[in-house]
Structure 1
């Protein structure tokens, strides 16, 4: 038994390196998408100090909105690609309206309340979006309009290490687009005036207000950015499977990513996402048969629990010391 757990998986990795590369690639793609979801959590937490539990359902809601608009435009006679990109613009507009509504209806009235009140408010936002989404779009899975958005299909087979490694083209596109978006958002919030204002708000709301920074505007910008992140994530995950409310469970994989990387760190979201993505794929492929499978559904949370025990602030989080 000990041999099967501690030695045999590594023997398999050495004997079949092509399968190891295949598994690592699939883990990297999942990890980049997890990191993109986690980035939405990080942006809102940095700006308001509130953990946005609704980020997961925002991924689903934005994707359903895109598919819903596309179906409507197609019924009006628009061509496939034209309908898809019009739907994409309107879906982004819906996320902007959602950001403005959240700021006006939720954040502004509760700004003086304890963080736990704002956290519970994001639960309310979650169930409002679920209910509204089910009323408007129904509960049946929808097919993502990948071809209409010029996302590739098929696979690329590469001979390496004595075997064949198959790379799905949609996975390559997802990894590239998600990576570019992560880098773009990181540079935007690091190098621009809005980014400096965001960092000021993250350090102290009162200090930011004292130098003329509008919390309301910053919150709208950050929630809109998180909405765009959710939209891109919904497109990529939806292109790999169907668009349904089950995607919210996938989106919540960002929670262990945040525990690993730190709730306020963009680099932490990236590194944490890659660790979780690669770790769960390796665990499922090499150790899953020993435990009857299903490791991929819970391994991420076990890794997060271990980090909570030994480094609760995460790899890149700030260690907070309170003096009494």
Structure 2
């Protein structure tokens, strides 16, 4: 029982990180009606910016305080993501208003490759580390309940709590603020939103900035765990099954989908890995997403769209 709970907790903590990345996909889709294939590149770009600025700023300013360096690096990296959001809106999205969804989709693919190249140009292509003081040692809990207790990762626990807090804050932002309602209106119909005075360009800058913030936090967490390398953008691909499972338009769906994927892949690797020769954790999420596409294409909480002709 103890080993099962350890695996379950590990899956839940990993699932919150997947939910955080998936939230970036949901944010962009809810504001523009297009699936943002650039989200993985945004996570990588933000993590590279954080790692390199945390290294450069102490040299530029002549001090050696890790906390201050990380704080300044976070501020500079976030400012860079906001500038990036403004440039994406100004140079790309503003010229594609009311275009077909496939046009916007291809635009996000182009943005993804551009960010990959820009990241290498600005920050290099080595493996970098991010040290934000997250605890690395495991902890033993519930020793009085289970024999030997349960072993959990402090780093995963802190990362899951940070992710949960951010996901909750963004969900409240979407549901309770005027800007959040304007974002939903823009996603429903660009022209109708403009006709009632919603500034489309400002809304898109805001949503890409918020998605950039989510990408920065996710990049810091994953970079602290795995190191900042260009395979980091592939981690974001794990969020694709999450949004398929939860629904492209649902923030709660992104949360629940992430938890299901996280727990499912951990438990399947442990309890089914011997039957499939291992490696099931790599493909479990995609097989589960494929099954949902066949049975419920809109996901658990997605909106079922009916076109009347």
| Same fold, TM-score > 0.5, yes or no | yes
Matching of residue 57 in structure 1 with residue 79 in structure 2: no
Q: How many residues align structurally? A: 305
Matching of residue 163 in structure 1 with residue 163 in structure 2: no
Residue 9 of structure 1 aligns with which residue?
A: none
Structure 1 residue 162: Cα displacement: 2.4
> For 2:190, which of 205, 214, 227 is the aligned residue?
205
Matching of residue 309 in structure 1 with residue 294 in structure 2: yes
1-structure distance, mates of 2:259, 2:28: 21
2-structure distance, mates of 1:122, 1:199: 20
- Extract structure 1 runs of 4+ deviating beyond 6 A: none
Residue 27 of structure 1 aligns with which residue?
A: 11
2:15–2:261 contact (8 Å) kept in structure 1:
yes
User: In structure 2, the residue corresponding to 1:157 is in which secondary structure?
Assistant: strand
2-structure distance, mates of 1:232, 1:208: 30
1:170–1:239 contact (8 Å) kept in structure 2:
no
Task: Report matched runs for 1:100-179 at 5 Å.
Answer: 100-147=86-133, 151-158=134-141, 159=143, 160-179=145-164
> For 1:85, which of 63, 71, 92 is the aligned residue?
71
2-structure distance, mates of 1:252, 1:36: 12
2-structure distance, mates of 1:167, 1:236: 17
Residue 30 of structure 2 aligns with which residue?
A: 46
Q: Deviations over 1:35-84 (max 9, x none)?
A: 11111100110100011100011111101101111111122322222111
Residue 280 of structure 1 aligns with which residue?
A: 265
Gaps of 5+ in 1: 1-16
Length-normalised TM-score, structure 1: 0.92
2-structure distance, mates of 1:152, 1:59: 22
User: In structure 1, the residue corresponding to 2:92 is in which secondary structure?
Assistant: helix
Length-normalised TM-score, structure 2: 0.96
Task: Report matched runs for 1:229-240 at 5 Å.
Answer: 229-240=214-225
> For 1:217, which of 170, 185, 202 is the aligned residue?
202
